């Protein structure tokens, strides 16, 4: 697998050469600062781009064209990386070398650029997408684990924009106007930093020349200020109650360790050993041995320097689980783990990294992160760095982790139809 950066009208394009897929994937990213109002408008705008345009007059015409192009898949969605909101426009299609039609690639690129540039925003489609977005957020309330995670982030980040969902905020949906959508689209093409990834088995010279004929928006350099370097101070624990069959527990550990920091790889190994894998201390002690939780997992976020422990359990198990979680952290800090435990954690991360190169979508995200963070695209550096982590390194990383905040969404003493209440 090889990766090479070339420019099209000063827009960086990452060409990822690989023979492991029969499909090809082209993704365009458009970057903006993350905030709730802009995210809501941008998500609605991206959703409307999928519905219709001046060439394809309705959803059926779009779908029929995708089917005609041998099952081409088109999507326009939103996501976030650190402090940055991203519109992600993707087309996935059969490698042209398997199609007996020399014009196939040109048809694919024409379809992509039509969906991107030939927009036809109208009030009816906007109202339809607003309804879909309302449905999404309403479904969040029905999914108690997802709802608990949203409440947790709201309290954890408080006034920081990182709490914003990449789809925006439900309370802002109805206020979005058609003029807002058109302004957001114009800003995307003329003001937003952009980045393009292409992955698959292709002739780079031919594909580059074809893309150059079709891509036509204004270039701006990527904003690499992605880290959530928030002034996280110790927060008072919060318990909220609603009608639940099991409590959801979230605990935050502050590490102040980010990408590129000396302890970045030791922190990854530490978290794998502590709570990320099914062989971790949290899983084995809290779930398997003590039978306190239905699930438990720790996730390290190098954009914010935080570790979040999430779990589901009976209300009567909450306090015992919190005690065991802190005890597990202290054990890692004090070196109470074997060489075998360390090997298992490293093997888990090694497998995870290797698998990340087996997904065409993951390759695209990896190329974007490479551009934003100035990290190698190849897996070699990460694999070598993980293997070089020793027991003392893990202990040092663990000692950076300090308990910051605990949130519980609880069903204790709750009655049918009771509204959300909070204890602080």
Write down all domains in the chain, each with its CATH number in brackets.
2-214 (3.30.830.10), 238-423 (3.30.830.10)
**Residue 227: its pLDDT value, please?**
87
Per 3-state DSSP, the chain is made up of helix, strand and coil in percentages (nearest 5) of: 45, 20, 30
**Residue 161: its pLDDT value, please?**
78
Say if residues 306 and 153 touch (Cβ distance below 8 Å).
no
Q: How many CB atoms lie within 10 A of CB 249?
A: 26
**Residue 424: its pLDDT value, please?**
38
**Residue 63: its pLDDT value, please?**
97
Rounded distance between C-alpha atoms, residue 277 and residue 190, angstroms: 43
**Residue 104: its pLDDT value, please?**
97
**Residue 413: its pLDDT value, please?**
61
Say if residues 410 and 318 touch (Cβ distance below 8 Å).
yes
Q: How far is CA 413 from the centre of its chain?
A: 35
pTM of structure? 0.92
* Residues with Cβ within 8 Å of residue 280, at least 6 apart in sequence: 272, 273, 274, 298, 345
**Residue 414: its pLDDT value, please?**
46
Helix (H, G, I), strand (E, B) or coil at 335: coil
CA angle 92, 96, 102 (to 5 degrees): 135
Token code pair at residue 173: 């949906």
Q: What are the mean pLDDT values of the chain's consecutive 10-residue runs (424 residues total)?
A: 93 95 96 96 98 96 97 97 95 95 96 97 98 95 90 88 91 98 98 97 95 95 86 88 92 94 97 95 96 96 94 95 97 97 97 90 92 90 96 98 96 49 42
Rounded distance between C-alpha atoms, residue 168 and residue 215, angstroms: 28
- Order across the sheet with 11-17: list the strands: 2-8, 11-17, 194-200, 23-33, 84-94, 73-81
**Residue 27: its pLDDT value, please?**
98
């Amino acid at each position: 697998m090889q990766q090479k950066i070339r420019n099209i009208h000063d827009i960086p394009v990452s060409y990822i050469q690989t023979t492991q897929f029969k499909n090809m994937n082209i993704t365009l990213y458009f970057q903006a600062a993350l905030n709730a109002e802009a995210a809501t408008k941008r998500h609605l705008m991206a959703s409307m781009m999928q519905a219709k345009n001046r060439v394809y007059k309705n959803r059926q015409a779009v779908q029929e064209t995708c089917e005609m192009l041998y099952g081409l898949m088109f999507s326009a969605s939103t996501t976030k990386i650190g402090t940055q909101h991203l519109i992600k426009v993707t087309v996935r299609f059969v490698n042209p070398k398997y199609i007996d039609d020399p014009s196939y690639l040109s048809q694919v690129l024409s379809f992509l650029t039509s969906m991107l540039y030939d927009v036809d925003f109208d009030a009816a489609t906007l109202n339809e997408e607003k309804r879909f977005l309302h449905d999404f957020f309403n479904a969040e309330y029905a999914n108690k684990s997802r709802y608990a995670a949203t409440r947790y982030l709201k309290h954890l980040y408080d006034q920081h924009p990182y709490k914003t969902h990449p789809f925006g905020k439900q309370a802002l949906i109805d206020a979005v106007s058609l003029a807002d959508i058109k302004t957001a689209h114009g800003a995307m093409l003329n003001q937003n930093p952009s980045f393009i990834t292409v992955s698959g088995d292709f002739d780079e010279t031919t594909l580059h020349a074809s893309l150059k004929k079709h891509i036509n928006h204004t270039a701006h350099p990527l904003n690499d200020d992605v880290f959530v370097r928030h002034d996280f101070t110790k927060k008072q624990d919060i318990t909220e109650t609603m009608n639940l069959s099991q409590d959801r527990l979230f605990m935050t550990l502050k590490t102040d360790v980010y990408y590129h920091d000396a302890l970045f790889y030791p922190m990854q190994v530490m978290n794998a050993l502590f709570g990320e894998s099914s062989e971790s201390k949290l899983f084995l002690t809290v779930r398997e041995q003590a039978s306190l939780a239905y699930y438990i997992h720790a996730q390290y976020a190098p954009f914010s320097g935080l570790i979040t422990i999430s779990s589901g359990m009976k209300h009567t198990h909450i306090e015992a689980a919190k005690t065991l979680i802190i005890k597990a952290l202290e054990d890692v800090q004090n070196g109470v783990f074997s060489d075998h435990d360390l090997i298992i954690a490293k093997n888990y991360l090694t497998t995870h990294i290797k698998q990340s190169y087996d997904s065409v979508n993951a390759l695209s995200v990896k190329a974007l992160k490479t551009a934003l963070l100035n990290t190698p695209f190849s897996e070699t550096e990460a694999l070598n760095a993980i293997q070089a982590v020793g027991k003392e390194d893990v202990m040092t990383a663990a000692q950076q982790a300090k308990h910051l905040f605990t949130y519980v969404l609880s069903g204790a003493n709750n009655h049918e139809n009771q509204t959300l209440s909070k204890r602080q």
